[in-house]
Amino acid sequence: MFKIVLQPEEQALLNAIRDGLCPVGTIPEPVVLKFMALRMLVCDERGCPKLTDLGEAALARMQAKLH
């Protein structure tokens, strides 16, 4: 099993995506592809990014809510 460590800017971006504060097209494509490759992010049929369970768990772990 591997350990996901998020940089502060990645954590802030995932928090913004989770809270719905990132409209379509405002997130740089390489960042979206990186998180999609890690299976932390998926895009719905309109192209809006959504966190997966893995993305939610990574955020919770980085915020010390999960060990």
Using one digit for the tens of pLDDT, what is the confidence trace for 43-59? 888 878 899 999 999 88
Residue 37 above 90 pLDDT?
yes
Strands 41-43 vs 49-51: parallel, antiparallel or unpaired: antiparallel
Question: Per-residue pLDDT for 38 more than 80?
Answer: yes
- pTM recorded for the entire structure: 0.79
Q: Residue 66: what pLDDT?
A: 54
Listed in sequence order, the residues at least 6 apart from 62 whose beta carbon sits closer than 8 Å to its beta carbon are: 5, 6, 11
43 contacts 36 by C-beta, under 8 angstroms:
yes
Lowest-confidence segment of 14-18, 23-27, 28-32, 49-53 by average pLDDT: 23-27
Q: Three-class SS of residue 20?
A: coil
